[in-house]
Amino acid sequence: MKTMRFIVAMLLLGMTISVAAQGEKQWMKDAKKEEKRLTKEGWQITPGSLPMLQQIYNSYKLRNEMGMDLAPKYVFGNAQSIGTFFDAAKTAATEVAKADMVGQISTEITRLVSEQISAKQMSNDQAEAVMGVVEKSKSIVTQRLGVTTPVVQFYRKLPNGNTEVMMSIAYDLEKITKQSKGVVNDMMHEANLDIELAQ
């Protein structure tokens, strides 16, 4: 019986590895197509960064990585920004990408808070105060993210001399969710509002 279980387990493991290998082949094929399209549009990499194909492939790989609960492991923030200089465009793109990422998490936080507002049958004034706190928490969470490393970072020179930067950053979904809930809980406590999100 133990031998049979072992054989079944090994077959399942083999199938899983085979499916993953097929997925990686498809990601590489898609990454090559995307690289060709972006290069044709004038996008290029910054000196010292990974090759364009590798950045795109890494992005696909991270986007498909799952946690123990089979939920996505990372949340992504994407942005494009134009500036007179590369550094200005990069800084703006970084901040927009962070805000994009926090906005995605904020949607889940808003849902959880709304459920508590309904369950506690709060008045309209209390509910408005609670939702105001949730809205304010976005900027604090964005600031607390600190330094983020782009998964994808390309730039191109525009005909008018400006530089456009395309960026995608990834952050551990569990970590940013926990951080967001912590900020909301702290702000609710400071405002004497009876809402607490489970960590």
**Domain for residue 132, yes or no?**
yes
Smallest Cα–Cα separation from 165: which of 94, 76, 102, 98?
94
**Domain for residue 176, yes or no?**
yes
d(CA 180, CA 101): 11
**Domain for residue 173, yes or no?**
yes
**Domain for residue 195, yes or no?**
no
Per-residue pLDDT of the chain (199 residues; tens, 9 = 90+): 555 554 544 443 443 433 455 678 898 999 999 999 999 999 999 988 999 999 999 999 999 898 788 888 999 999 999 999 999 999 999 999 999 999 999 888 888 888 888 888 888 888 888 888 888 888 889 888 877 889 999 999 999 999 999 999 999 999 999 999 999 889 988 988 887 887 7
pTM here is 0.79
pLDDT for res 7? 52
**Domain for residue 198, yes or no?**
no
**Domain for residue 165, yes or no?**
yes
Instruction: Please give the residue range of the domain that contains residue 71.
Output: 2-190
Q: Are 171 and 179 in contact (CB under 8 A)?
A: no
pLDDT for res 199? 72
pLDDT for res 2? 54
**Domain for residue 197, yes or no?**
no
Q: Report the number of distinct structural domains present in the chain.
A: 1
Strand 74-83: give its sheet, edge to edge: 44-45, 150-157, 163-172, 74-83
**Domain for residue 124, yes or no?**
yes
